Amino acid sequence: MSPTAKGLILLCRPGFEAECAAEAEAIARHAGLQGRARTAPNAGSVHFVCDELFDWKLVLEATPFSAFVFARQRSVWVDRVADMPQEDRATPLVEAIAALEVQIGRVEVETADTNEAKTLSGFLKRFIPHIERALVSRRILRDKPDLPTLHLFFKDSSQADLGLSRPGDASPWNMGIARLRMPRNAPSRSTLKLAEAFDALMTEEERAQSLKPGLYAVDLGAAPGGWSYQFSERGMHVYAVDNGPLADSLVAAGMVEHVRADGFSWRSPRKQVEWLVCDMVEQPARIAQLVSDWVASGKAKRCIFNLKLPMKKRFEELKRCRQVIDARFKLHGDSYVLRIKHLYHDREEVTAYLAKLPAPPVETPKMSRR
């Protein structure tokens, strides 16, 4: 018998629980799931609790990870093991996992991204190997990458929530935290944000098509050059648009042309570039209008940009930006793809990927024979 879903386990950046909860309720409502999100300020997690019990696979399909902006990680909540005795925590947890009657291909151990939760790291490092060995011996944990992933979310050492996800429908990083290494020659740490965006917001095919030597990119609000660096390191030409200074090493490499101009008024000398990226500090709706104009008009094939959200009504402001982009593309009936995530390397902003979809081919009517 397939496990029933209690709801969803969502991990988010501490301080963004309200936005994550509002988004979870909106996604669930759209999918016909009734329930309520529960959280606490700076908890770093949200539990959406369903009013009814459903098959976990149905809830998973109705709430895909790609639909969430503010959730770093999402799994379907199927059970809770509370009050695990200090003398033997492993037995009740293993028995609860076995009772799910689901074979799994991987175990993800999770906590909230808070200082309080980080104190669990030592305990979990010692404890989890015992759980994994027990699951292997009972043939629950199998070396098969297509099997579901088991998420063990620990509130403390005596309580764990059990969640399930499918490969490809969850963050590829544990707890949704991208641990990226800072490149030695990068001008600023903002380069990590674009590196994470390439992996989090694009498909492998999209990356292969668009991140290759010889292509052109425009970087609006480029200084000191962290985003331009990502393109130049791949052998791409960059127009770095900013009145502020760029790192000397970036310009000296020869792939970056520093254009001292305003990002809202500057126009590319090329008819079309492969990339537009934008990390300017400006009202979110104004940025949404700017980048959608570039992509909808064909001046850029694709774009990654930041939306600096206000301290209050972040969720509402994000909806407004979506509406601005949608209205721009609807002017000529164009289709587009828009993916938005609150990345690990984001703070008050969210990062988005926007691309215009090619028009469907026009079918030529066939002449009938008489």
Binding residues: 190, 223-226, 242, 262, 279
Residue of 57, 299, 301, 308 marked catalytic:
308
Query: Position of tokens 């850029």?
Result: 300
308 noted as active-site residue: yes
Angle at the Cα of 315 from the Cα atoms of 313 and 321, rounded to 5 degrees: 100
User: Percentage helix, strand, coil, to 5, in the chain?
Assistant: 30, 25, 40
Tokens of 131: 């759980």
Please give the annotated binding residues for S-adenosyl-L-methionine, written as ranges. 190, 223-226, 242, 262, 279
Half-sphere exposure for 99 (CA within 13 Å, toward CB)? 12
Whole-angstrom distance, CA of residue 224 vs CA of residue 143: 45
Handedness of CA 184, 185, 187, 191 (dihedral sign): negative
Q: C-alpha distances in angstroms, 13 versus 17, 33, 63, 206?
A: 7, 25, 20, 27
N- to C-terminal Cα separation, the chain: 61
**Can the peptide bond before residue 14 be classed as cis, meaning omega within 30 degrees of 0?**
no
**Which tokens is 219 given?**
């970087």
Which sequence positions are flagged as catalytic?
308
